[in-house]
Amino acid sequence: MKCILCGATFPIRPIERYSIEFMGELIEVCPHICLICGFVFLHPQPDKELLERYYGNQNRVLTETAAYQDQAKWIGDVKGRVLDIGSYDGRLLKELQANGAEELYGVEPDESLNIHYERFRAMSIDDLPSEMNGTFDLITMMHVLEHVPDPVSMLGRCRELLKADGRLVIEVPDLENPYIHVEPFWMPQHLWYFTPGTLINMLRKSDLFNIWGRSRRLPYCGYRIEADRTERVRKCSSHSSDREELAVEIYQQRRQMFLERTRERLERYCGRVAIFGTGEHTQFLLKEFGDILRPEFYIDSFREGEFNYKPIYKPSSAPLVKNVIISSYDSQEEMAAIIEKAGGNPIRLYDNPVAYDTWGGE
């Protein structure tokens, strides 16, 4: 095991360990922290083929979110050619087009999406043709760098693709402002966990980018930074692991308190109960509280059949039940409104969620 940020092989310690079903396989998730530089990463990482299957056909629900508008507003005026890595269905590109972008390109491996821009189906931007080197005025990576197998190489490839005066804008989940969910912060598809300090050092490690200090800590779990291309070599600045170790400790304490409060909340409800949602969030809901939860059925707008040996109903056809647990953070309020409209009592797990994505379902 080796830290890709500082190169250390010791001391690196595990933070915690759990198992989860991912793409039909039971895998182990074990984040580690480098006690030299503070970088946090998964080890071992999920199999490459498993991740490619996950990214290649996620059948994601198209969401409406203000995040794209906020990102585009923060980026400001754009001219020329833009590349969005992890471009989803092109919503950020559409916003950037309104800011002045003339040519829109995206890297998006999910073939289930309907794309309306020049698209490169690729797990990596390494697959982009060399004739595109030095042609992009702006490259964006919004919640992408934490997913890629080799983020240092990714940054190097971005440098090759940027014009001499081009810009790179990155947004990643922020370990110093993690979400506190039923689901752990550590996810099998998130291979790397950044703080502002470790992200800046990764940019500097590439010897490719000059940081001018333009950045923003976001109201949801995110940190955004702008970098530009430079010919000057810059080494990593000295950085201890103190802030990251403290961030991990605070996260673990806050999540434990949240789980205790949630157990108290759920224990109030007895008798007939249903759960709205059948995704990863519900997996962890049952993992943490399966001893007190006995749902009669599940509700899901995009899935039918059975889940955990119980039937799944669409919201419009679900049997009448008084109490429905809303098993989502990002879409809690939208799902709760559906239950309220049907005359049920939505049991919310989160107070005042600040979501990156919101749900556009039934």
pTM of the prediction? 0.91
User: Which has the closest alpha carbon to 218: 27, 70, 56?
Assistant: 70
pLDDT score, position 67? 86
Confidence of residue 71 (pLDDT cuts 50, 70, 90): very high
Retrieve residue 94's tokens.
């559409």
Mean pLDDT, the chain, rounded, equals 89
CA–CA dist 150, 126 (Å, integer):
11
pLDDT score, position 133? 95
Domains and CATH numbers, the chain: 58-249 (3.40.50.150), 270-347 (3.40.50.720)
Give the H or E element holding residue 336. Answer: helix 332-341
The letter for the amino acid at 160 is: E
Q: pLDDT tens across 261-275, in order?
A: 999 999 998 778 999
Q: What is the mean pLDDT of residues 188-193?
A: 97
Question: What is the crossing angle of helices 196-205 and 151-161, to 10°?
Answer: 60
The length of the chain is 362
Confidence of residue 113 (pLDDT cuts 50, 70, 90): low
Phi and psi at residue 347, to the nearest 5°:
-100, 105
Half-sphere exposure of 114 (CA within 13 A, CB side): 2
The letter for the amino acid at 274 is: A
Contact present, 303 and 290 (Cβ < 8 Å): no
Q: pLDDT tens across 29-66, in order?
A: 999 999 999 999 999 999 989 998 888 766 655 555 67
Contact present, 284 and 275 (Cβ < 8 Å): no
